[in-house]
Structure 1
């Protein structure tokens, strides 16, 4: 039963993964299930008979209990006795005595290769080796005497060989691809303590991804993920020559310039050998949905491009190399490619067997299929479905096709790779993620020199995400049937909307004609509403409580308090996918933890790819941003590597967002700040291309918003500034208000308004205008903007009773929460929202999105929102009278924002103006070197520590509380909290 006990511990305690678990279970052992509370799914990795599940402990001498995160690839040695497991995740290990400035990492803050003996079936860990950076690529040399690991942002390939003591070691220098930079544009990441700058040629770093080697071991090929090329090394082990690069883009490889192709190459398979002149590489291009075929003999050349419908991911060759099995995200398919003719001979849908899923659901996509492995007898193909936490068992049909999914095997959270033992009797699956549970125990710290520091535990969301290795005997046909049913139950495939829910939503839909959708940034429930009089909040964790967020507190009091609401995402990078589309593509899942660990890559989820505005043609790109290089082959076209596809029946490529669904229905839309190119906000203000921080850009016809979504190009308010911590949300509200007044006068309010109020992210303390330059002030500014918008609607006779306002955080990565690190705040306001109630139904970002869809009469976009319950509990079918008055936090009186300049007209001016706990000079100093140019383009774990220490002083951080129901006895809790505030946090100035 140890495995069952462990599964409970990782959810209900603040200690994650106390050790590896070993346990057995019959299919569907309910006691071994674990709820993924932010996904509304279960995982049952011990459901397969005789299965084991172990965490990946690298055995660090100074942190023996530390566990690695995000396992991505497995590979088996030629003699089938050894299996390698590669991580490519956050994996930053913090020191207990941080230096200044950050980062505060130990030398063990690397990626890992776990080496297992699988000769007897069950894996036995023999060794762990460290690699500075990785991105999925790993391959064995055919001799079995070496293996190669792609070095990710280090742009190299590490070579590990068997050394004299029977262990593996790196005895030679890595092979280098010699790239000065990747192909892109944007604000560069500064060195610690350095200044942010823009370089139009060196804006993104390179990244070595997939690796493949010829059967004779003489040709090694690496995919250059951010250089749109491959590098070929020749000679073999101990004799590798310098690499030869082959650009995969048509305009750089003999084709038509300005044509998309070959970009974001991720995985490689090599057929044949150069020895007999038959070597060719197959390279998956995620962005351009094609497999590029490269002749490797002599001077490498692109000889074919195989167009596919999905986003091509990992792939595998059969033994005689006649067939290539290519897994595709978005379509959730495997294409079988004839390697002689370069043609697709079969397409296999791999979500589930027909018996496991209703026909009405089977048409949707969203499984995030991401890898495939042939069984040794080549009769079956095992495909990992990351988002469904399962392996699809595909029975292959042979030369005449007819392959089909015949069963599903439950896994841990987000499987990424499968391997088999030599006889095919054992299966090994690596999972990238784990449930994080409550996170009140991190103790943020650090500041300027001589500032007292606390112990740095590893409790940040990406830090808490741990990898796992699942092993089990290959299930029999009878067992597969039971396991398939378990996967269907885990993912709620049989879910249907209740009659009551549908009746409620139909009534609301009949009366509500307008939705205003506001997205904010990063806060947890306890961090903001922990001090609310009702609900399950922990006031000890309220960093931005009622003193700074009176309007959000009033929204919760007046309408519904959602105290069991969870952000589906981990961080902003996937948060904008989940919050606007109800899914995160597999490439996003793969890049999140790498990016947030500072291991290269970028934030591609808001329309720009590598900071290039791919929504526009080259001329418009340059008009929007004159810093754009004059290169027609720099990500040409509008293909978006990180965008989800649309729903059935057309499955429009890259059109899977809420606004795309609204446009398909013919609804009117206006965009305020979603998917905006912010590059020009973050260059030196002396640069003529800098976009000024103008409070009223409309008055000067100053364009400040440059849309990055093709769908939103003509629907975006060009005077509404996008993500920029230096700019107050108050001015964003005023621009929205300017247009709203016009709509009200002309009866033209769009059906769907997208509004971004982002200042609760905080940052840019040295450049912030109007004195809104501390975390408390920026949070209060954000709160006031939200309150003003709600007040504006409440005072509109035309729109107050037919408009709903939805407010959500894109993620909950910043701050502690005593229930779960994903728990966040969400608000809904309007005449058809219940009043004065606590609604503790378990909801998440996808439920929120599904609710908006129901109000607007939109069909689901993918599997996730199709299976999400609308939030019917919060609504009433008869309208309530309502009004709302925005209340500025008193601290805003110290700013120079317009409402606070005329003190004679401001009643609050008669009160003492509260001051920020620390001044802007302090915050600028302790965050020096952090890049606030876009969401989280720095180590947010370090920032979280700085925030707690700066805001809460020496107040001890609770370390014992976890998962408690604090809805009762609120008066006593709040009284104790109020007492603790008095004198606990004093104004501190830097010396």
Structure 2
């Protein structure tokens, strides 16, 4: 195995060729999973405490498969990347000489030898920031490499003529100190290398730079959120894609995207996409309507081709006339549902090469016939493509690579942030028909889809209650249940903290092979409600320099195909939403509390001191939200949320008006570290557990129970370790039609749950992810059991306080200081690396060390300077032997 390491502010990024990766350790548990042979078997398992059930043993787990491919969190299969490395990359650029490929990684750039396809030792150079959403370019002579950062400056690297390695060469700032981050993105050099143009998203402009003087020469205004800039072949025109489209006219509906007003439709999604043609000689700039989310641009002659990710099209524009001449759909055969997400382009001759982020493939389009010739498989969500000079090879960067497998491939417990990015090297001479068959199979485009012949899918279910929680893994909650595939050492919550979760799993069905598709709340809530994370989200994951829209506050994160509530409303289904996609910055508690305990006391005493106000930015959702049920902040306990839901539900039940679809946020299992203004992490998770139990009990004792299914999932599982994969999570179905005392080990993801909702309520799929997903199956029976559920009380006080004052140990003080050092201003601003360890310490009272891999570095959202010192528990008085 070839490895290359670099120290960047204390971080260490390991690069390895995927062909040499070790196979993952088979999942532990009481069953023989027959993974090596890849066998599909059915075995009757006598599960202690769960009775007897026929369990289809999992033929698929998330991660590396016996044939070397990977199953990723979307449920798709991918080919392994040719070049794999830890972390999440975003862009690449081939040097003019063609000898190296530069990769823009989260916190650095590094070089790949184009001949050996290995990462060049000691080529890693720090960005001193996170990477921007896009932007890396070589000067025409290959001497200078420029990279965009999420802090608003460009980082420069000079390539040494003798050693051919990179040396840091300063920065260029696009705005004066103190001005708002311009969010630089795509860039283009003039042929003489003297001028560099940079798309500045937050300035709605292209910044022109004098490279020799390293200063801003001028700005060229364009329209909303410029993504990329290209030069026409005569270099007289700048061609700029405007991700957010045209400016809104008076009276049109808008929503802010990081303070920039974006034209939206009734679902809250961006409703326009444009390109701007800037005349460098000073003539008027022309703006041309294209399709939604225009991103990458390829120029050939007098034509520009623009990838429009949210419309699944490439739009061809005549640069002379300034008009659209063709719209080229990027889809396979008759598969018309949305989700290809074309977002990066390369062109050679009459062939356009298109990175389809949603298909994990590169499409080849014949420009003479407008036909898609075929597809070539790459890694998880490709975001950049460049061709070699001879046109034989394509280098494709996959931002999610092989999935979150960086630890599990080494036999370690996984976390959803354990990305292994990849670069695929495509030999374009290989038979395209054969390659297309792989892509078709990996995406299941020809797999016959059938609705399981079950009563739940034939009208027996009229009410679905969809509960979305926050951040826990399967092993954290169920890891010590002998009936499931768990690791007891990772079961930090278990019976003491989560008795209702475990009772529900024992009385109904335990799912031990269910996964979230998202990674954190920003993409997790989109997956949970829309069945995908769009191109904007996947690109901004690296830096989040504009917004973190877990709550629908940024119109750029929405799918043009709509969310599950849109699907329900289109079919005239009734709807009620509790907290989900309510804006955490507009939600209010009046008056503002001093701490959680003050609000808790108000609930206990029923004094009515505080008023809760929930607000959504989504026009179509506004009539359907509960006005007092907040998603965030966590001043509102999950007991209060359960109070509001149960009161509402019982009223609607008595009136026989229970909605067809009810969506609830139950977020308190997120926890707030050892912050003294909140309860202990385990108390907040116990609060979440009891709220779930109370809700299920109330519904199960209603007349509507006979026609109800409750589905429970986390939006993401980023906060805990899991021995199978960091996406494995709490995954539940609760209904009279759910088998009792059963274990279902079928492979399911978030989109499987969404497909289940759609089939139960007769809704149309939203996009290709849920359209092609398998719904829940083995867990259901046609013989209902109407026995209601009885919630069990919490085992610990829900208002348990974190240590303070004289009661604190040295370790307590350390973790309190670490808690208070984190950014709690908004959801997930607190670096999950540290929050996970804070929660673990608090729950285990310092007696069990966090399951780290030696050499781990905190590098999710923390500042680079923070990475210089990695403090382990035994450095604050806690021995690894305790």
TM-score norm. by structure 2 comes to 0.80
In the alignment, which residue of structure 2 is the partner of 1:222? 198
- Residue 749 (structure 1) aligned to one of 638, 648, 658: 658
CA distance in 2, matches of 1:832, 1:919: 49
In the alignment, which residue of structure 2 is the partner of 1:758? 667
Residue 496 of structure 1, CA deviation: 2.3
- Residue 710 (structure 1) aligned to one of 619, 628, 641: 619
- Residue 280 (structure 1) aligned to one of 225, 238, 246: 238
Alignment of structure 1 residues 447-486 onto 2, 5 Å: 460-462=415-417, 464-476=418-430, 479-486=431-438
CA distance in 2, matches of 1:759, 1:821: 20
Kept after mapping to 1: 8 A contact 2:414/2:724 = no
CA distance in 2, matches of 1:179, 1:488: 50
CA distance in 1, matches of 2:526, 2:284: 34
CA distance in 2, matches of 1:142, 1:785: 61
Kept after mapping to 2: 8 A contact 1:117/1:125 = no
Cα 1:342–1:216 change in 2 (3 A) is farther
In the alignment, which residue of structure 1 is the partner of 2:289? 307
- Residue 493 (structure 1) aligned to one of 445, 466, 474: 445
Kept after mapping to 2: 8 A contact 1:570/1:812 = yes
In the alignment, which residue of structure 2 is the partner of 1:129? 125
Alignment of structure 1 residues 340-355 onto 2, 5 Å: 340-352=320-332, 354=333
Alignment of structure 1 residues 873-912 onto 2, 5 Å: 873-892=778-797
Any idea what the Cα deviations from partners look like across 1:854-897, whole Å, max 9, x if unmatched? 1111111111111101102111122212211111222026659x
RMSD (Å) for aligned C-alpha atoms: 3.6
- Find out whether 1:391 has 2:349 as its counterpart: no
Alignment of structure 1 residues 426-465 onto 2, 5 Å: 426-432=393-399, 433-437=401-405, 460-462=415-417, 464-465=418-419
CA distance in 2, matches of 1:737, 1:919: 41
CA distance in 1, matches of 2:490, 2:233: 60
CA distance in 1, matches of 2:711, 2:170: 55
- Residue 79 (structure 2) aligned to one of 37, 44, 50: 44
Q: Secondary structure at the match of 2:445?
A: coil
CA distance in 1, matches of 2:409, 2:496: 24
Residue 681 of structure 1, CA deviation: 6.2
CA distance in 1, matches of 2:835, 2:800: 24
Residue 146 of structure 1, CA deviation: 2.3
In the alignment, which residue of structure 1 is the partner of 2:218? 244
Cα 1:866–1:304 change in 2 (3 A) is same
In the alignment, which residue of structure 2 is the partner of 1:525? 474
Residue 792 of structure 1, CA deviation: 0.5
Cα 1:547–1:919 change in 2 (3 A) is farther
Kept after mapping to 1: 8 A contact 2:145/2:158 = yes
Kept after mapping to 2: 8 A contact 1:518/1:807 = yes
Residue 582 of structure 1, CA deviation: 0.9
Q: Secondary structure at the match of 2:285?
A: strand
- Find out whether 1:152 has 2:97 as its counterpart: no
Residue 8 of structure 1, CA deviation: 5.8
Residue 414 of structure 1, CA deviation: 2.1
Q: Secondary structure at the match of 2:386?
A: strand
- Find out whether 1:832 has 2:832 as its counterpart: no
CA distance in 2, matches of 1:438, 1:73: 20
Kept after mapping to 1: 8 A contact 2:837/2:850 = no
CA distance in 2, matches of 1:563, 1:486: 29
- Residue 938 (structure 1) aligned to one of 830, 836, 855: 830
Residue 543 of structure 1, CA deviation: 0.9
Residue 232 of structure 1, CA deviation: 1.7
CA distance in 1, matches of 2:734, 2:65: 39
Cα 1:458–1:273 change in 2 (3 A) is farther
Residue 837 of structure 1, CA deviation: 0.4
Kept after mapping to 1: 8 A contact 2:523/2:537 = yes
Kept after mapping to 2: 8 A contact 1:386/1:415 = yes
In the alignment, which residue of structure 1 is the partner of 2:109? 112
Give unpaired runs (5+ residues) of structure 1. Answer: 15-28, 47-52, 57-66, 90-109, 183-201, 249-261, 444-456, 610-639, 647-655, 897-914, 961-985
Kept after mapping to 2: 8 A contact 1:442/1:459 = no
- Residue 90 (structure 2) aligned to one of 72, 75, 85: 72
Residue 435 of structure 1, CA deviation: 2.9
CA distance in 2, matches of 1:13, 1:302: 63
- Residue 34 (structure 1) aligned to one of 69, 85, 92: 69
- Find out whether 1:737 has 2:643 as its counterpart: no
Kept after mapping to 2: 8 A contact 1:784/1:887 = yes
CA distance in 2, matches of 1:304, 1:809: 46
CA distance in 2, matches of 1:389, 1:297: 37
Residue 159 of structure 1, CA deviation: 3.0
Cα 1:383–1:537 change in 2 (3 A) is same
Q: Secondary structure at the match of 1:86?
A: strand
Cα 1:440–1:81 change in 2 (3 A) is closer
CA distance in 2, matches of 1:525, 1:30: 20
Any idea what the Cα deviations from partners look like across 1:341-364, whole Å, max 9, x if unmatched? 221111222233x2xxxx3xx111
CA distance in 2, matches of 1:715, 1:284: 33
CA distance in 2, matches of 1:317, 1:116: 27
Cα 1:11–1:297 change in 2 (3 A) is farther
CA distance in 2, matches of 1:761, 1:540: 21
Cα 1:85–1:683 change in 2 (3 A) is farther
Residue 921 of structure 1, CA deviation: 7.7
Kept after mapping to 1: 8 A contact 2:279/2:285 = no
CA distance in 1, matches of 2:157, 2:494: 52
In the alignment, which residue of structure 1 is the partner of 2:710? 805
In the alignment, which residue of structure 2 is the partner of 1:624? none
Any idea what the Cα deviations from partners look like across 1:639-664, whole Å, max 9, x if unmatched? x1110011xxxxxxxxx100010011
In the alignment, which residue of structure 2 is the partner of 1:954? 847
Residue 699 of structure 1, CA deviation: 5.9
CA distance in 2, matches of 1:8, 1:169: 31
Residue 693 of structure 1, CA deviation: 4.7
Kept after mapping to 1: 8 A contact 2:342/2:356 = yes
Q: Secondary structure at the match of 1:892?
A: coil
CA distance in 2, matches of 1:292, 1:156: 24
- Find out whether 1:325 has 2:279 as its counterpart: no
Deviates more, 1:887-896 or 1:706-715: 887-896
Alignment of structure 1 residues 555-954 onto 2, 5 Å: 555-595=504-544, 600-609=545-554, 640-646=555-561, 656-679=562-585, 693=599, 702-763=611-672, 766=675, 768=677, 773-796=679-702, 798-892=703-797, 924-952=816-844, 953-954=846-847
Residue 987 of structure 1, CA deviation: 13
Residue 531 of structure 1, CA deviation: 2.4
CA distance in 2, matches of 1:780, 1:916: 23
- Find out whether 1:549 has 2:498 as its counterpart: yes
Give unpaired runs (5+ residues) of structure 2. Answer: 3-16, 29-63, 245-269, 802-806, 854-876
TM-score norm. by structure 1 comes to 0.72
Q: Secondary structure at the match of 1:873?
A: coil
Kept after mapping to 1: 8 A contact 2:577/2:626 = yes
Kept after mapping to 1: 8 A contact 2:376/2:432 = yes
Kept after mapping to 2: 8 A contact 1:214/1:271 = no
Cα 1:944–1:721 change in 2 (3 A) is same
- Residue 104 (structure 2) aligned to one of 49, 62, 87: 87
CA distance in 2, matches of 1:755, 1:779: 16
Deviates more, 1:543-552 or 1:709-718: 709-718
Residue 371 of structure 1, CA deviation: 0.5
In the alignment, which residue of structure 2 is the partner of 1:415? 382
Any idea what the Cα deviations from partners look like across 1:806-829, whole Å, max 9, x if unmatched? 111111111111111111111111
CA distance in 2, matches of 1:325, 1:698: 63
CA distance in 2, matches of 1:700, 1:594: 40
Residue 166 of structure 1, CA deviation: 4.3
- Residue 263 (structure 1) aligned to one of 209, 224, 238: 224
Residue 168 of structure 1, CA deviation: 5.0
Kept after mapping to 2: 8 A contact 1:54/1:469 = yes
Cα 1:288–1:854 change in 2 (3 A) is closer
CA distance in 1, matches of 2:643, 2:808: 25
CA distance in 1, matches of 2:438, 2:409: 34
Kept after mapping to 1: 8 A contact 2:242/2:276 = no
